[in-house]
Amino acid sequence: MASNCAVIFIGPPGAGKGTQAKRLAHRLMVPHLSTGEMLRDHVTRSTSLGVLAKPLIEAGKLVSDEIVLRMVEERLMRPDSREGFVLDGFPRTMPQAQGLDTVLYRRGFEPPLVLDFHVDREMLFKRLAGRRTCSLGGETYNIYFQPPMREGICDFDGGALITRADDRSEVVAARQESFAQQTAPLIQYYTDRGLLERVDGLGSLDEVSGRILDVLKQRKIANDRL
């Protein structure tokens, strides 16, 4: 990205921000950093962090700010994120947002662009209940909107498609609650600083991507890559 800018995706569970964050990162040729994916990777590898995070993730609760911040900070030290990155699922609390400000400042980054996703409740449900994840590569699908070519099988590596443990309905409710309690206040924090743009998350993948690119163009972010 020309102006070495960070883009943050905020939105309730199921708003489609993960898919869109990946698409944008690909388009801008910068890393897509999902704290959920990083944590799930720790769980799969049974690292000490993974052992700690597993019960929290499975209950739809947040992992501690200190752990997540350290993980993100370490990731941002790698050279591939020097020109920019897309953050997905982070920050999720005020201390995380403030911690991120410090990290960005230290690394000489511009203030982030924050995209706030909006989707109605029925659509949120379909997006979560319909979501399937590849058990090998982590690729995501949706049985309603973006089905694989063969039912239950990943198009890329043939892995079995599974429902993530935290997409079960009772866990979804807990995740929605934690979004309302802890993440929603970030919207005000970033609005007050003029960094927030609201994005309508309804429509086809290409329509939503188009809206995101329009916001970047208007704000003259990464214009040379769009």
Q: Which of residues 130-169 bind ligand AMP (CB under 6 A)?
A: 166
- Please tell me whether residue 120 adopts helix, strand or coil conformation: coil
Using rule CB under 6 A, residue 10 touches ligand AMP: no
- By CB under 6 A, is residue 202 in contact with ligand AMP? no
63 binds ligand AMP (CB under 6 A): yes
Using CB under 6 A as the binding rule, whether residue 52 contacts ligand AMP is answered as no
Catalytic residue flag (residue 131): yes
Rounded CA-CA distance 115/196 in Å is: 6
Binding flag, residue 216, ligand AMP (CB under 6 A): no
- Is there binding between residue 92 and ligand AMP (CB under 6 A)? yes
Region near ligand AMP per CB under 6 A, out of 54-62, 133-141, 194-202, 206-214? 54-62
Nearer to ligand AMP, 114 or 222 (CB): 114
Count of helices and strands (H, E) across the chain: 9, 8
Catalytic residue check, 211:
no
Considering the complex, state which of residue 92 and residue 211 has its C-beta at the smaller distance from ligand AMP.
Answer: 92
User: Distances in Å between the alpha carbon of 59 and those of 35, 39, 62, 95?
Assistant: 16, 14, 9, 21
DSSP H helices in 62-196: 65-76, 94-106, 121-129, 169-178, 184-192
Residue 60 to residue 104: CA distance in whole angstroms: 28
35 near ligand AMP, judged by CB under 6 A: yes
Among 10, 15, 33, 39, the residue binding ligand AMP under the rule CB under 6 A is 39
To the query of whether residue 17 is one of the catalytic residues in this protein, the response is yes
Q: CB of 29 within 8 A of CB of 225?
A: yes
Report how far residue 121's alpha carbon sits from residue 172's, in angstroms, rounded to the nearest whole number.
12
The upper half-sphere exposure of residue 139, i.e. CA atoms within 13 Å in the direction of its Cβ, equals 17
CB of 62 to ligand AMP, least distance (A): 4
State both tokens at 112.
């982030």
Reply yes or no on whether 78 is catalytic. Answer: no
Q: Which residue, 25 or 222, has its beta carbon nearer to ligand AMP?
A: 25
The footprint of ligand AMP (CB under 6 A) covers 13, 35-36, 39, 56-57, 60-63, 68, 89-90, 92, 96, 166, 175
> Which residues belong to the active site?
17, 92, 131, 164, 175
